Amino acid sequence: MLALRDETFGGTFPFAPRYRDVNGFRMHYVDEGAGEPLVMVHGDPTWGYLYRRLIAGLSPRWRCVVPDHMGMGKSDVPGEPFPYRLHHHVANLEALVLGLDLSDITLIVHDWGGPVGLGFAARHPHRIRRLILTNTWAFAPWPGGPLPRLLEIIRSERGERFVLERNGYVEVALRGTTAHPERLEGAALQAYLAPYPTPASRLALLCWSRDIPLEASDPSFSDMRAVEDGLARFARTPALIVWGMQDPVLSAPVLERWRRVWPHARVRTIADASHFVQEDAPEEVLSAIEAFLDEPSHPTRGRWR
């Protein structure tokens, strides 16, 4: 049996593993291609595997840098600083990007990758050239309405048993928020489950849902508010929003909020896609990103449908 670091999941993730010591743990990342860097930041409960088709499609022309968050994917699972918080993940991404000395970055984010990636961007706006958002948020308090039942379970007292002992989160979350869960059969589902074979390997999965700030007393509320306040720095930065319209977690009102924050952004909506838009509609996501990257100039206003 291959070690996780060398596993390609039937050739669906053929990218060489790279590691960098970051804030006391080894952070795994993919670094494929050359040229302008595209930094792709995943959320919960995925890892860099989410971007496999984008890496394959974009790396012939751009440099694709795709990290795995602390405790996820092929990265280490440190015991400290558990519980992992938003500010830890922002600091980890910052250490990796600055260590690689990346600039002129096109930042691509999804889910919790939005607060993490945009938290880094707000600290280093001069390194950001473009922004690409896919079904994400960066607002305090939580803008998505009542939390889904699955997230409420994780935030409750029985969350430890559900996530750590029963491993009840990853598959349920993926199947429940994709429009085409049948596409997760085989290598894809295996890849998403592979990093979490034991209770000790699932620490990060327990932390993300519990870190969503709902009110000012929550630990990461002030950090999320700082990320939100930093969005104004990118009022003139070329931006693309690609949104799966069947998302039950971050639904259409959240997309409308992004449109108000960045009215200049291009918007591509995909009707037949849910929260994990990269799994439901990989070709559409890739084509929208390629068209955006290929624009000779970026108009101040515009919409794609």
| CB distance 12 to 187 below 8 Å | yes
Angle at 39 between CA 229 and CA 140, to 5 degrees: 25
Active site residue 247: yes
The single residue of 44, 68, 247, 280 carrying the catalytic annotation is 247
The single residue of 28, 42, 89, 275 carrying the catalytic annotation is 275
Tell me how far apart the alpha carbons of residues 255 and 259 are, in angstroms, rounded to a whole number. 6
The string of DSSP letters for 202-235 reads: GHHHHHHHHT---STTSTTHHHHHHHHHHGGGGT
The single residue of 68, 111, 211, 280 carrying the catalytic annotation is 111
Active site residue 275: yes
pLDDT in tens for each of the 305 residues of the chain? 469 999 999 999 999 999 999 999 999 999 999 999 999 999 999 999 999 999 999 999 999 999 999 999 999 999 999 999 999 999 999 999 999 999 999 999 999 999 999 999 999 999 999 999 999 999 999 999 899 999 999 999 999 999 999 999 999 999 999 999 998 988 999 999 999 999 999 999 999 999 999 999 999 999 999 999 999 999 999 999 999 999 999 999 999 999 999 999 999 999 999 999 999 999 999 999 999 999 985 544 444 43
Six token digits for residue 182:
């049948």
Sorted by where each starts, the structural domains of the chain and their CATH numbers stand as 4-294 (3.40.50.1820)
pTM of the model: 0.96
Helix, strand counts (H, E) of the chain: 12, 8
Six token digits for residue 145:
């309405």
Q: What is the pLDDT of residue 296?
A: 82
Active site residue 104: no
The string of DSSP letters for 88-132 reads: HHHHHHHHHHHHHT--SEEEEEEETHHHHHHHHHHH-GGGEEEEE
